[in-house]
Structure 1
């Protein structure tokens, strides 16, 4: 008897890829949420996602801001000096500064 397996139907392959993508996105979002919680504790400020996530070559970039600024757009509530946050596909979280203009370059750290 042959030990050869039957080929996997294309629909099953696509479904498998979709499941992996969903899992990776959930993992990435959890990593960023954990970062925000820790940053809120550190700063004593409520924070919110301001932009993102945007896909990079091997990760995702997020931009955060004070919740007050996100809700009101009042410049008096704006945080300054921070930069983007990268969640790399390998799980690393890379915090940028206001000097970090290229998220792809941040992935090389």
Structure 2
């Protein structure tokens, strides 16, 4: 089972592929949500968080789910309410 720190490292690696694609560095926002057998991470563009740079603000980004069993990380579905998705993850 992945610890919170190990899961965050996985989330950062997952987000780095997006940074390579568009040049916007991403940062994890606060502690993850523990949802059953998953960790859920919220993130935003580093330039927006640190300097308020609107060019680095990410709009429509969905939280990253990192399964505790070291499964493949993925983003939540943008068509469904985030809180409802997290609740479903927490219920298993």
Q: TM-score range by the shorter chain?
A: 0.7 to 0.9
1:62 corresponds to 2:45: no
Higher Cα Rg, which structure = 1
Match of 1:38 in 2: 17
Render the CA deviation track for 1:14-46: whole Å, top value 9, x for unaligned.
xxxxxx7xx623321221121122121122111
| Residue segments in structure 2 that go unaligned for 5+ positions in a row | none
8 A contact 2:12–2:28 mirrored in 1: no
Match of 1:16 in 2: none
1:103 corresponds to 2:86: yes
Which protein has the bigger strand share? 1
8 A contact 2:42–2:63 mirrored in 1: yes
Deviates more, 1:25-34 or 1:57-66: 25-34
What TM-score results when the alignment is normalised by the length of structure 2?
0.72
Aligned Cα root-mean-square deviation (Å): 2.6
* CA distance in 2: counterparts of 1:105 and 1:85, whole angstroms: 15
* CA distance in 2: counterparts of 1:49 and 1:41, whole angstroms: 16
What TM-score results when the alignment is normalised by the length of structure 1?
0.63
Q: Tell me: CA distance 1:57–1:97, structure 2 relative to 1, closer, same or farther (3 Å).
A: same
Q: What pairs up with 1:6-85 in 2 under 5 angstroms?
A: 24-73=3-52, 75=54, 77-85=56-64
| Residue segments in structure 1 that go unaligned for 5+ positions in a row | 1-19
Selected match of 1:94 from 58, 71, 74: 74
